[in-house]
Structure formats: structure tokens, C-alpha cells
Amino acid sequence: MLTGLPNPHPSPIPIPLVRVPDIRLDAWAYRLLRSLQVNRSNDCLVHRPYYHPFSTLDQGHIHPPFLLGADHHFEWQHPSHQYPLATVNFSINPLYQFASPRVIITNHLLFSCPSIQILYWDCPQHLPVAATKLLFIQEEELDLGTAFFIADLEEFCQAYFLPISPYTPSFSAALNPNLPPNVNTLLNTPPLAIYNPNTILWKSNSKCAHRPMTKGQ
């Protein structure tokens, strides 16, 4: 037995555990960005993808985590006058702490057609039942191809979760997170560097720096 050797860890304070990043959240962000790179408009279908940067502001500074959100707005237009017969919007936001997608059904304020909002922290893997039922009812009443609208929306949901190269389909499915990204880590995060160009307010040593207003200014 070797004795008299120096202790490589002389401090009685335990070494903190290294936090291992969750690669499932990287896959979540990748799928979201990938979905924004494709516009699925065709014939009567209009698709408008909207990108939403996601970070908090504290005293004018942006804080991590630097996440993202998105809206995928779909319209099914009449084949002749091209006004929408129905709209469906997938709203993806890390702040939606829902265990399952939430569906809000109302009338479009401008076109008075059915307007369906689907709120969730991820894209649903299938079109929610409530949305499918409403669109099927509309198809029975109008017979204007709304069934194809349902098929296009289902295809969008399936394409969203296509395997991530070079992973196999089974491993890609295992990368689906079961919880939304943790946005609460921003609470104990200090603001970014003073000269970060992404900040709304920034400090400077020049005479043009922000300073409190005095009487008479």
C-alpha cells in the first residue's frame, strides 16, 4: 500500500457535480428550426411560418436560456374567391406548460370562418381530435375539400417529427423530450456583457450614455 503521497483533493468541500446537458432539448430546437425552413403552401392551402426568438428581458438585458418559439399558420381557401374557409394555427412556446395540446375554437374576426388555435410547447404528433371533428363537420356541410386540409395538417405534424439525420428513426423518437425546456434557469443568471449588441439598453463611457434625467431637462 502506498503511503505519504499528497492528497489530490485536499479540500473537504465536495466537488460539484457537472450538469450534463439534455440533448433532447437540442433535438427539440432543431426540429423547430427545421420546420420553419419549409413552406407547405399548395393549391388551396396557404402556410405561413412565423419565427419567435425567446429570451427574457431584465433591466433591458437579454438573459439565457436562448430558446425559440414559432407559429405555423394554415389557411384553407375557397378555390374560386380564395377567401379562407378555415384557419388553423399551431403555436409553439416553451411557456405553454400543458401536458397535452390545448385547442381554442372561435370565429375569424375578419373572414368569419372557423379559426382553430392549437397551443403547446411542442408540435403535436397528430392533429388534435377537436380540430379534426370541426373540420370534418365543415366538409360535410360545404363539400369544398376540407378533408384535404385535414390530410395536409396531419402530414405537417408527421413531417415535423421525421428522423434527425444521421440517427435512426427509433433513436430519433427517443430524442423527443417529455417536458418543455426549463425557462426558470434565467432567474439566477446574471445579465450579459455590457457591450452585448443584442441588448436593448447598454452602458457606455461616452457622453451619450444613459443617465438619469435632472431637473430642467
Give pLDDT, residue 22.
77
Rounded (10°) CA dihedral 129, 170, 33, 192: 110
Tell me, letter by letter, the H, E, C secondary structure of 121-153. CCCCCCCCHHHHHHHHHHHHHHCCCHHHHHHHH
Which is more confidently placed, 17 or 144? 144
Mean local confidence (pLDDT), 125-143: 90
State the Cα–Cα distance between residues 26 and 24, nearest whole angstrom: 5
Residue 215: partners with Cβ closer than 8 Å, 6 or more residues away: none
State the Cα–Cα distance between residues 145 and 41, nearest whole angstrom: 15
Instruction: Output the nine-digit C-alpha cell for 194.
Output: 455590457
103 pLDDT tier (thresholds 50, 70, 90): very high
| Residues of the chain above pLDDT 70, percent | 72
State the Cα–Cα distance between residues 188 and 210, nearest whole angstrom: 25
Give pLDDT, residue 68.
86
Give pLDDT, residue 14.
64
Write the DSSP symbol of residue 5: P
Mean local confidence (pLDDT), 65-85: 90
Q: Does position 208 have pLDDT exceeding 60, yes or no?
A: no
How many CB atoms sit inside 10 A of residue 67's CB? 22
